[in-house]
Copies of this chain bind each other. A is one copy, B any other.
Amino acid sequence: MSDNGGTFDLLILGAGSGGYAAAIRASELGMKVGLIEKDKLGGTCLHVGCIPTKALLHSAEVADAARDSETFGVKAGFEGIDMAGVNAYKDKVVSRMFRGLTGLIKAHGITVIEGEGKLTGPDEVTVDGTAYKGTNILLATGSKPKTLGLDIDGEKIITSEHALKLDRVPKSVVVLGGGVIGVEFASVWRSYGAEVTIVEALPHLVPVEEESSSKLLERAFRKRGIKYELGTPFESVKTTDSGVSVTLQGGKSLEAEMMLVAIGRAPVSEGLGYEEQGIQLERGFVKVDENLHTGVGNIYAVGDLIPTLQLAHVGFAEGIYVAEQLAGLNPPAIDYAGVPRITYSEPEVASVGLTSKAAKERGYEIVEQDYNLGGNGKSQILQTQGSVKVIAQKDGPVLGVHMVGSRVGELTAEAQLIYNWEALPSEVAQLIHPHPTQSEALGEAHLALAGKPLHVHE
């Protein structure tokens, strides 16, 4: 018999973005919350995801600024990267955020249960022999890198987790996968001085984005000297004395010091008792209904574990949704198309809403305005290229916003309101954006769609 760990209103397995957001919101709503975590509060995003990668990307931005300083009249020689310094900076940011989160969880009176949990009943999770009961249970065990059965040695063939701990800048890297994670690391390493080749089986980098965005990113990467092999699937890799030799379908081979495997992330759902309790999995993902309910007892699931967008803020939103749902607040369903997506490479790629392809598939008659950042003063000052494309329903609201350029990620905040509040181009056009900002490009696109272009070249 296992020990009795007590009963919680909400018992959460996994303290990543999804799990801890649910814990915080549930505790605010008066629930007694147990939060089980085998590693560190904060999960992937805080420790080996969003935060450390964005720290590397900022170091990369600083390196680029130093390298290009002459363009701006600044005398500063770029002399190289000090990986120990980069890692110290990155770790400092992570531990600061980690301390903050730990304090927050404590301040909310959430019971943190350390250890590896397993679902042992429809209302029970067992951790190290102690059984905890939950009136409601939330599964939030997240995801881990997919490896395609490759022999990840952590030295020459690595995943993002190893990439975040490198003590040197590789001379050359093959990045397997042209999605968000692959593209971000390619961007970092290139700024650090490495030779980088991305291998992507689909015909474009960041293939889920608007095609014009992918093309703009490809053009920018080409200028930066980042190579890519598109539409050519990977076949095999073998380690050599000096690194790796990668073979693509068709026979082409690439040599490099290491290969990063960034072909997606798989849910962590095996061996945790999920299926034993009757929970259905699909390709490893926990299946849920629109209320994020698994169909078993009072068991819910959120985050990377379920087949929705694998983003930290989706985890937050889903965690909050479940907590509010349990409290009877009847929260509105999450509109996943309205979630902002950002690839933090140089240049950034960002979007909200539908691509033109998806909009057409849904039967909309659409109008588009693609505003080139060449006409945007602030973007010229930053010397960045790209565009802001706005897609609207003919005589109707904005359906999608797609952007490429340095720092455009922050512009998704406005785009998120426009899309989710179903604004008409004319309603946005009425508000003249502050000058000179990059947000003006968004303003100009809406002005043009509203039939009153200001700084728009035909």
A residues sitting closer than 8 Å to B (CB atoms) are 17, 21, 24-25, 28, 45, 50-51, 54-55, 58-59, 61-63, 65-66, 68-89, 93, 96-97, 100-101, 103-104, 107, 311-314, 316-317, 320, 332, 338-342, 350, 374-375, 377-378, 380-382, 407, 409-414, 416-418, 420-421, 423, 427-428, 430-439, 442-443, 452-458
Contact = CB atoms under 8 A, between A and B. Distances in A.
A416 to B, nearest CB: 5
Nearest to A439: B413
Contacts of A87: 73
B74 A62 contact: yes
A81 B73 CA distance: 6
Q: How many copies does the complex hold?
A: 2
Given A74-B78, A97-B377, A417 B428 contact: yes
B457 A107 contact: yes
B432 A413 contact: no
Given A28-B452, A312-B436, 6 more contacts: A54-B378, A74-B78, A313-B434, A316-B432, A342-B434, A417-B423
Contact of A66 (B24, B65, B84): B65
16 contacts: A25-B454, A50-B435, A62-B69, A62-B76, A66-B66, A73-B89, A74-B81, A74-B82, A75-B81, A311-B434, A316-B454, A317-B432, A342-B437, A413-B433, A413-B437, A421-B427
Contacts of A96: 380
A80 B75 contact: yes
Q: Which of A93, A101, A407, A417 has the most CB of B within 10 A?
A: A417
Contacts of A88: 73
A126 to B, nearest CB: 30
Contacts of A24: 453-454
B28 A380 contact: no
B380 A432 contact: no
A17 to B, nearest CB: 8
Contacts of A80: 75
A453 B97 contact: no
Given A82-B74, A83-B73, A89-B71, A434 B413 contact: yes
Contacts of A423: 417
Nearest to A335: B431
A266 B319 CA distance: 55
Nearest to A70: B85
